[in-house]
Every structure is written in structure tokens, then in C-alpha cells.
Amino acid sequence: MAFRRRVRWLLDALDLRPGLSLLDLGCGPGVLLRALAASTSGVRAAGLDAGMERLLQARSAPTPAPLLRGDALRLPFRDSAFDRVLGAEVLEHLPDDAAALRELRRVLAPGGLLALSVPHVEYPFLWDPINRLWTALGGSPFRTGPLVGIWTGHERLYRPDDLAARVAAAGFEVLRVEEATHHCLPLTHFLLYGVGRPLVERGPLPAALRRRLGRLPPAPGARRGPDLLAPFRALLAAVDRPNDGAAVKKRRTFVNVLLLARRPA
């Protein structure tokens, strides 16, 4: 739900055109790079991630872009190397997001665009009621383990004005800040990420079912077979539909903060 919405927002915001160069920071298994290749031709993209296991997953896909292992705080690129930088759910994992933003400004060409998504500190109660209740009682967020939710491996969550201030302090001009995804099923994050993703990526599920549960649509010509998850997909779609309506902007809690910024020319 939230993934689909933020990916569309990020790729649209970057105003991608043939000939532009793009860095996918924290590319993971290469899902966004494959989505980019499917939607926009002629963009020279590269992916960087700190985790070798995720890069090996990306290379087995295969992902249509060069992939590098590296540190977001010390990017292995020359100054002004990219016209666009994409950072989807990355800053919250880093011990020093300010240093990472300065590095992104360094490798982004003057006039280039930066698009970010991060988890919202005011997330919907239904999205992760376990963490919401536990932290309200004074407990520390569950970042690992069987009860993990929106805090999975995260150093921090963000408010829109906080993210904008951090990006501006790194030398960027903030162009747009939006909040996305309020309506959801109970325990959405736990079910889809705490349970679902481990089953898809490392579990004993049959290969055909793993493909059905993946984040990208099947390749053209791929054998599909019966979609046993169609009723669940229909339920998700019905719950998710109000997130695209105008009335959702009046809500107070959201899953993501989305930001577009420019390096001044």
C-alpha cells in the first residue's frame, strides 16, 4: 500500500528524462531500479547499498544497473556525479543522517534533484498498534524480533518539518513536502513486513507464490497460474482507495513523509 504510493510519487517528482544519471541510495534488492527501468528508458542509473546480501539478491534478479557496495556517509563517487538522487526509506537507518545528506549534496550536480521518503513519526495506530501502545507506556520501540513494526532497524522516525529542516541545513532548497498513506488494515506493517517479507525473501514458499507476493508485476510472458491471493488483494485495494482522495489530507497520522529538494545551481 504505502510502498506503491511512495514509489510513484518519488519517480514522478524526479522528472526523469533520457540521458540523466541517477543514484538509488540504499537500493537493496534492486526493486526500484527495476521499476525505473520499466517506466523510464534512457536514464543512466546506479545502485548503492551497504548490505552484500541485498546486492546479491539484486544481481540475481537481474537488476538493469551497476551495483556497488558502499557507505552512505562516504559515497564512492566524484563531486557532482549525478543529476538525480533517490533515497527511499534510507535516512532512518543511518546513524548520522546529516552527514549522509551532505554527501548527497556533494555527489548531486548543481540544479539536480533529490527525492526522499522516510517513515512518519505520527504513523496510524492501525499500521503498528504494538509499537504505538508499547511506546505510549514508556517502552522503547521494537526494532528487531517477532513484534517488529514500523521501527524495523530504524534510528529515528520523522515529522515533515523536521525532515525539511535537516535537508535545508545540508544545503538543499526544499521544493515539496507531502504526507502519504493513512487508511490501512490492522497490523499492516507487522503482517506485510514482519511476517510477509521474510516468507517471500527467505521462507519455504513455492517460487510461483513468491513471485505473486513480490513488489513488482510479473515479467511479460511469465506463467501466472491461478491467483489465490486475489480476494486479499481486493480487500487491500478497497481499504487503500481512500488514501488517494482529497479528504485524506485532513488526517493527522500518515505512514510516510515524502520530500523533493534541489541542489542550488
Q: What percentage of the chain has pLDDT greater than the value 90?
A: 67
* Residue 90 near residue 30 (C-beta atoms within 8 A): no
Residue 246's pLDDT is what?
Answer: 93
Whether residue 201 is predicted with pLDDT greater than 70 in this model: the reply is no
User: pLDDT at position 18, please?
Assistant: 93
* Domains of the chain with bracketed CATH: 2-262 (3.40.50.150)
For residues 125 and 227, give the distance between their C-alpha atoms in angstroms, rounded to a whole number: 30
Q: How confident is the model at residue 146 (pLDDT cuts 50, 70, 90)?
A: confident
For residue 57, what is its C-alpha cell?
A: 539478491
Q: Give the model confidence (pLDDT) of 21-43 as tens digits.
A: 999 999 998 989 988 888 777 89
Report the DSSP beta bridge partners of residue 258: 117, 178
Strand ranges of the sheet holding 173-180, from the earlier edge strand across to the other edge:
67-69, 44-49, 21-25, 82-88, 108-119, 256-262, 173-180
Q: What is the pLDDT of residues 154-188, one digit of tens each?
A: 999 999 999 999 999 999 999 999 999 999 999 88
